[in-house]
Chain A
Amino acid sequence: MVSKLPRHDMPRQDALARRNNFQEVALGYPLEMAVQEANRCLQCKKPKCVAGCPVGVDIPQFIQKIAEGEFLEAAQIIKNKNLLPAICGRVCPQESQCEAQCILGAKGEPVAIGRLERFAADYEISQGCCKTECQAPTGKKVAVIGAGPAGLSCAAELARSGHEVTIYEALHVAGGVLMYGIPEFRLPKAIVQKEINGLKDMGVEIKVNQVVGKITSVQELLDSGYDAVFIGTGAGLPHFLNIPGENLCGVYSANEFLTRSNLMKAYDFPNHITPIKVGERVAVLGGGNVAMDAARTALRLGAKDVYIIYRRSRTELPARAEEVENAEEEGVKFYLLTFPVEILGNENGNVKGMVCLRYELGEPDESGRRKPLAIKGSEFEIPVDTVVVAVGQGPNPLVTMTTKGLALDKRGTILVDEETMATSIPGVYAGGDIVTGAATVIQAMGAGKKAAASINKYLATK
């Protein structure tokens, strides 16, 4: 049977070479390999994988098309449900979503759904097509605040339904975390812009440099003729640890570190003028995907030693296994069951080291993970020159604090009806990190899509 074939590894740049460049690590399936991998799919009558996809892509159908060599059709099938497949194929945690449900995974390895999605999307981009058809104009106008994953997916769905959509983006370029957060070597910015251009081709207008909450407000947007508003403003103020020395020079939030490198292209200094500084030894605090991105970026910026410092053990690392593996292959070292209590500085106010404590794991806490307990008297020093704090962030406050009547929870995230993504203000919807707190790209896209469906219903009644 075809399914006995092993899952095909995706070719990747050699670990030693790639730690010195910012080019994409994963190279994508070549055509023949994609067809072979597609042939592993059992084409289940009742496919479980589809249920595992937050946006419900018809997975067996598109894989079938790849197996048949109909790559453009495969891309179209994906795009029926997800208009940003080249992005999702790269950054979705498929191992815990669609691929986790694949029947082949019970006894062997699941079909590489994510890699196939990426293949189909990249193939379509390489062929320079295809425009997504939109329904006849409805005459309804929707404002989308934030051009990140939630806003983009919401805008795409609304445009497809025939509404006139304008996205208000605070930064000078659309994409949100896809541009400022996720590094070039994991998600090339040219790919992001090509998928965003697809939205523009559908008639979505993107206004950059528009900080809603400052230059205009949700109420003003509603008053100025928009029939509905979607808020997808995403991440806000980065969290720090409240330990001494956190404001020393050389302590970055992961957001700052990655924004300098990704959005402002500081890795190409001085051709790009925004600077970034890494010392020989860099400590990244935290164990999520953002921490892995920061650690791998630090290596590429020339750091000799990069440490991931994490309070719990390897099992609890929240990052994708694939990212942990990539980081390790490239030479990132892991200090597990360890966390700093103080950052030390020299006379110029620059970081020179950290005082850390060792931890052991106790009983599971409310998150279900075993709680880290500090071991008394276990203080030790690690000499480092740069510290990157990657322990999450709160919701962005600029829209929420200027919108009267918008119900928030105590963390400052927007309260919505989980079925409809409707906020406490009629006609105003929200989704993504501004609702859930820090989560994944695909969860935000799923929320944007769900909101678009509700906005469609809402507009039909207006």
Chain B
Amino acid sequence: MYTVVKKRALAEAIVLLEIQAPDVTRKAQAGQFVIVRQRHNSERIPLTIMDFDRQKGTVTIVLQAVGYSSQLLTEMEEGDSLLDFVGPLGQPTEIRNYGTVLCVGGGVGVAPIHPIARALKDAGNKVISILAAKNKDLIILEEEMKAVSDEVVITTDDGSYGLKGFATHGVQAVLERGLDISAIWAIGPMIMMKSVADFTKPLGIKTLVSMNPIMVDGTGMCGACRVQVGQETKFACVHGPEFDGHLVDFDLAMKRSAYFRQEEAIALQKHKCQCQKEGN
């Protein structure tokens, strides 16, 4: 059993769960993900790793309640257990000294950016991190990111904190200083990753994105997670989850991600009905 040893609310509907999983922790690296299954009838959900502590034997994940399964996961409390916790999966981020790098996290995408920024910093890079969210309340993990970055830039859509604008505005603001940026990691909502990649493509700056497509087994068997990268079809679970953002077909990826939206709504509705019944 994989027990939740710590739970922390990061923002409205966003929680951090620290989970006891010593075997996974032993091998986890920045950029990798885990698959979790909460109960006997649950889906297998891929989640990117936010942190790992080899001494404590824990892996930390961050979740936003959007569909049924993520809703249920955010309702877990300390002491509760997950039925299945599989990993570390996928290819780790290629960490080396690139020079000066940007780590851009949008929304809950800040969570998977965190271990990448830390590893890049440890490898000697100058790390400038950009945290983007709709508003101040939705900026997460600011302190943690400051601890692993040389500088943190904040942007909010409504201007309630930091620069007013999207993640791309943050990237633009940093680039305007005339810095020589060797590589950019951008993780967050698909539309945000696409915008950053579109922005950096004409500038010729290497931009890596982390795809989180629909998966089932997550071990290279089912092919649900395929992503169109240039002329090739790649499987995010074994070839990714990181890909060259300039080659990913985001429009197709967004459509594929939306394929089961109707079913997600049905499941969520059923859950709400059950909660109401139990509440009565």
Which residue numbers of A lie inside 8 Å of B, CB to CB? 170-172, 180, 208-211, 214-216, 235-238, 240, 246-247, 249-250, 252-253, 255-256, 259-260, 263-265, 269-275, 277, 348-350, 393, 396-398
Contacts and interface: CB of A to CB of B under 8 A. Distances in A.
Nearest to A177: B221
B259 A172 contact: no
B23 A215 contact: yes
A273 B267 contact: yes
A397 B238 contact: yes
A398 B238 contact: yes
Given A211-B89, A270-B270, A271-B41, A264 B222 contact: no
A273 B41 contact: yes
B86 A260 contact: no
A170 B84 contact: no
A398 B220 contact: yes
A444 to B, nearest CB: 15
B69 interface: yes
A275 B26 CA distance: 33
Interface stretch (B122-130, B169-177, B197-205, B223-231): B223-231
A250 B27 contact: no
A277 to B, nearest CB: 7
Given A210-B23, A240-B223, A240-B233, 12 more contacts: A170-B217, A170-B219, A172-B83, A209-B86, A236-B221, A246-B233, A253-B223, A256-B223, A256-B224, A272-B41, A275-B260, A398-B219
A159 B57 CA distance: 32
Interface of B: 23-24, 26-27, 37, 41-44, 68-69, 83-89, 216-217, 219-224, 226, 228, 233, 235, 238, 251-252, 255-256, 258-260, 263-264, 266-267, 270
Given A236-B220, A253-B222, A259-B216, A277 B263 contact: yes
A334 to B, nearest CB: 25
Tell me the dominant secondary structure on chain B's binding face.
mixed
B267 A270 contact: yes
B41 A247 contact: no
Nearest to B227: A247
Given A211-B89, A247-B228, A253-B222, A259 B84 contact: no
B205 to A, nearest CB: 27
A192 B85 CA distance: 23
Contact of B266 (A240, A260, A270, A349): A270
A237 B220 contact: yes
B259 A249 contact: yes
Contacts of B87: 211, 214-215
B220 A274 contact: no
Contact of A259 (B85, B221, B259, B266): B221
Nearest to B256: A249
Nearest to A240: B233
B220 A275 contact: no
The 4 closest A-B pairs by CB, nearest first: A349-B255, A275-B263, A253-B223, A256-B222
Contacts of A263: 216-217
B162 to A, nearest CB: 35
Given A247-B228, A259-B216, A348-B255, A211 B86 contact: yes
B217 A259 contact: yes
A348 to B, nearest CB: 6
Contact of B42 (A250, A252, A273): A273
Given A214-B27, A237-B235, A270-B267, A209 B220 contact: no
29 contacts: A171-B219, A209-B84, A214-B27, A214-B87, A215-B87, A236-B220, A237-B220, A237-B221, A237-B223, A237-B235, A238-B221, A238-B222, A247-B256, A249-B255, A249-B258, A253-B222, A255-B223, A256-B224, A264-B44, A270-B267, A273-B69, A277-B259, A348-B255, A348-B258, A349-B251, A350-B259, A396-B219, A397-B238, A398-B238
Contacts of A264: 43-44, 216
Given A215-B27, A259-B216, A348-B255, A275 B222 contact: no
Contacts of B226: 247
Contacts of B69: 273
A247 B220 CA distance: 16
A180 B222 CA distance: 10
Contacts of B266: 269-270
B241 to A, nearest CB: 14
A274 B255 contact: no
B264 to A, nearest CB: 7
A350 B251 CA distance: 13
Nearest to B222: A256
A255 B222 contact: yes
Contact of A209 (B26, B85, B251): B85
B220 A396 contact: yes
A255 B26 CA distance: 30
